[in-house]
Amino acid sequence: MKYDRWNLRPPGSADARAELERAGLPPLCAAVLCARGVDTAQQASAFLAHGSDLLHDPFLLRGMDGAVARIREALQNQETIAVYGDYDVDGITSTCLLTQFLRGAGGQVVSYIPDRIQEGYGLNNHAVDRLHQQGVKLIVTVDCGITAIREVEYAQSLGVDVVITDHHQCKDTLPQAVAVVDPRRADCPYPFPDLAGVGVALKLALALTPPAHREQVLHDYGELVAIGTVADVMLLQGENRALVHLGLEQLAHTTRPGLQALLQEAGCPPGQAPSTVSVGYGLAPRINAAGRMEQAGVALELLLTDDPHRGEELAQQLCQLNRLRQAIELEIFQHCDQLLSHTPALSSPVIVLAGDGWHQGVIGIVASRLAEKYACPVFMISLDGDKGKGSCRSFGGFNLFAALEQCAPLLEGYGGHELAAGFSIRRDNIPAFRAALAKLVESYAGCEPMESTLEVDCEIPHCSLLTTREVESLAMLEPFGSGNPKPVFLLRSVCVLSHTDVGGGRHLKLKLRRDGVVMDAIFFSANSASCALENGQRLDLVFSLQINHFRGNRTVQLQLCDLRPAPTRSQLERTLFHRLRAGESLSPWEASLMLPQRQDFAQLWRYLEHLCAAGPAQAPMDQLVRQATRCLPGHRSCGKALVCLHVMDDRGLIQVAVEKHQATVQLCRPQQKVDLEQSDMMRRLRHDLHCT
C-alpha cells in the first residue's frame, strides 16, 4: 500500500443524490458532490459556477486605492517603473502580466526577477541599487515583498517608491511602502483571501482599467492567471475557479507564440482547452525549471515574445532545462533516500537534511517527494560555507509558516505558506533548528506517528456505472486542484486477470474484472514486484477515472492511486457484520453481500429446529456460524448467516447467549406471526442497498 489509510467520505443521503440528479447532474458527479458536502441543487449550482460575475471588485483589496494612485502618477509623468517578481511560475506569470499591461498603458517599464542562487527570494538591496541606477522611480512587486521591511526602507532612502502586491502570509509588521496589497492582510476586507500572486496582479490591472474595458483585460491575461494559480496550488473554489476556468478556455486559442510552442512540447492537443493536470504536470514544470536553474528570464521572454520562431526556441530551451532539473533532483533524492533508509532516526518525527552544494532550485521538489514517502514534514537545506538556504514541504496539515515563526530566532529570514515555505539559516544553528522542529511536530502529532491518508470520495457500487459517458461527465467538476481535487473512487474485490510492467519497469498496467466487466488500469510509479501481484488475486482499488484513446477507440481506464489485497469473503463479511452491529452504514455493494432473503431465514430455521430438537443447544460460536452458513441455499455467506441469527434473536424467534465464545441457542416459538423485515438491521440493510 502506498497510503497508510484510505478515508472514505460518508456518501450523503440517497435523497440528496436524487435531488442533484433531478437537477441534471449525472450519477457519478452527484455522488462526488454529496460526499463533499455539496448536497442540494442550490449548493451544487453555486459550487459549479464559473462566470465572471463571481469576480470581486478589486478596490475591496486594502491598499488598492494607494497603489492605483501612485502607478497612475508614474504613468502620467513617464517615470520608469520596475515590475519586480519571483522566479517560480506564479511570479513569472505575474511579472509578465503586469509588465505587458503597464507597457500597453504607455508606461516605461522594466521587469526584474532575482537570481535564485545569488539573490534568493524577494526584494533585496542589491537589486534595488541596480534598478535605481537604471533610473527606476517606482518598484511594483508581484508575488513577493510582504516581508521586505528593510528593503523598502532602503529603497525609500534612495528616492525609490515601492508598491507591494503579494499573496503570502503576513507578519505582524508590514513594510512601510506607498501601498501594500495582499488579500491575507489581517485588516483586508476582501472576501476571497486565496488569490495567487498572479491573481493579485490581475486585480491591480483591473483596478487601473475603466470598468467598461475590464472584460478585455480578463481576455488578454486570463491564460497567465490560470497557469500561475494552478502551478501555485491555490484553492480552486469561488473566484479562483472562475479565473482558472476562463484561462483554460483561452489557452486553447492562445495568441502567445511561446505558449503555443510550449503547449505543443507538453503534448497538449492543439485547439483543445488543457486540463489543470496538463497545466500542473506539463506546462508548470517546464516554466518552473527556468527559475530553478537560474534562468527565469528564459520563461519570462517565452511569455512576452511576439516572434513564433523565438517562441519555439525558448520552448525547447525550457524543456532542456527541465530535463536537467529532473536529473539533478533525482541525484539528490536518491542520496537522501539512501541516507534515511540506513538511518531511520533521521526521519522521525521530522526530516531536516543539509548538504553542501545541493542545488537550491530543486531541493523543494526533493522535500515534497521525501515528505510523501516518509510521511512527515521535510526541511531541506543547501549549504554554502557557513550559510544555508532551505525549502520545506508539509505533511499531515502541519503549518510550516507558523513553525518557522516559532523558530525565527534561529533563522536569518523566512516566508511562504502553511504547506510550502523557504528560509535561510546559519550552519551552526541547524542542530538547534532540528531539535526545535522535532518538538513542534511531536506537539502537533501527539504520540502517534503521522499517517499518510488518501481521501476517497465514494465507492463504485457496480461496474455498470463505469461507462465512457459517465466518466466524461466528471469534466463538469473541472477545474480540479486544491479544494476541488480530482475525484477518487473505491472498488472492492476486483480480480486481477493480468499485469505487466511498462515504461521500462517504472509503471504497472493491469487488466481487471468485477461484476462481469473487464477493465484496464494503470498504476504510475509502481511495478509488479513492489505490489507483489499474482493473476487471480483479488484487490481493493482506489483510483481516478480517465478516457484512454487508442487507435480510434475510447475506453475507460482506471488510474490507480493505491491498491491492497482484498480480504477473503468470510473476513469481509464478518467485518461488515461488526459494522452493522455498531450502527454504521454500508455501501450498496456491501449491503448486497449481507442482506438475507426469505429462503435464507427459512433454511436456517429448519436447521435450528433440528439442532434444538431436544432443547437448548450449545456449540462454539464459530462452529454455529459455520453450520448456519452451510445450510443457506445458493452461494453460502457467513455474513447472511450472522445477520439471520441476529435478526431472529432480535425479533424473538430465538435466544442466543454467548459466553467465552460458547453459544447457547434456544427456540422461542412465539404465538403471533413475526415480521422479520421490521428488524432494525433489515431496515438499514435495505436502505443502504438502495443508496446508489
The tens digit of pLDDT for each residue in 37-46 reads: 999 999 999 9
CATH of domain 570-689: 1.10.10
The whole model's pTM is what?
Answer: 0.83
Whether residue 690 contacts residue 588, with contact meaning beta carbons closer than 8 Å, is answered with yes
Can you name the residues that pair with 539 across neighbouring β-strands? 494, 565
**Residues 53-103 pLDDT 10s:** 889 999 999 999 999 999 999 999 999 999 999 999 999 999 999 999 999
Long-range pairs for 114-118 at CB < 8 Å and ≥24 separation?
114/84, 114/86, 114/87, 115/87, 115/294, 115/296, 116/87, 116/291, 116/292, 116/294, 116/296, 116/360, 116/361, 117/294, 117/360, 117/361, 118/294
CA distance 200 to 81: 18
pLDDT exceeds cutoff 80 at 636: no
* Dist CA 614 CA 642 (whole Å): 23
Nearest in space to 645 (alpha carbons), one of 614, 686, 608, 691: 608
650/684 Cα distance (integer angstroms): 14
pLDDT tens-digit series, residues 285-327? 999 999 888 899 999 999 999 999 999 999 999 999 999 999 9
Can you read off the three cell numbers belonging to residue 237? Answer: 473554489
- Cβ atoms < 10 Å from Cβ of 691: 18
215 grid coordinates: 472584460
Q: Please calculate the CA angle 594-595-597 and round it to the nearest 5 degrees.
A: 135
User: Among 133, 166, 126, which Cα is nearest to 150's?
Assistant: 126
At the topology level, CATH places domain 343-453 in: Diaminopimelate Epimerase; Chain A, domain 1 (3.10.310)
Distances in Å between the Cα of 154 and the Cα atoms of 159, 160, 166, 556 are 9, 9, 19, 60
pLDDT at 684: 92
Closest CA to 350 of 366, 371, 331: 371
Q: What's the pLDDT tens digit per position in 348-391?
A: 899 999 999 899 889 999 999 999 888 899 999 999 999 999 99
Task: Find, among 434, 433, 425, the residue nearest to 384 by Cα.
Answer: 425
pLDDT greater than 90 at residue 179: yes
Q: What residue ranges in 552-661 does DSSP mark as E strands?
A: 553-565, 617-620, 654-659
Instruction: Report pLDDT for 469.
Output: 92
Alpha carbons 85 and 219: distance in angstroms, whole number: 22
- Alpha-carbon torsion 134, 135, 139, 142, what sign? negative
- Which CATH class for the 55-213 domain? alpha beta
Separation between Cα atoms, residue 424 and residue 412, nearest integer Å: 5
pLDDT surpasses 80 at 634: no
Query: For residue range 450-488, what is the model confidence (pLDDT) as tens digits?
Result: 788 899 999 998 888 899 999 999 999 999 998 899 999
Q: Identify the band that residue 692 occupies on the pLDDT scale cut at 50, 70 and 90.
A: low
Whether 157 and 133 have beta carbons less than 8 Å apart is answered as no
The DSSP-derived string for 42-104 is HHHHHHH--SGGGPPPGGGSTTHHHHHHHHHHHHHTT-EEEEE--SSHHHHHHHHHHHHHHHH
- Average of per-residue pLDDT values in the chain: 92
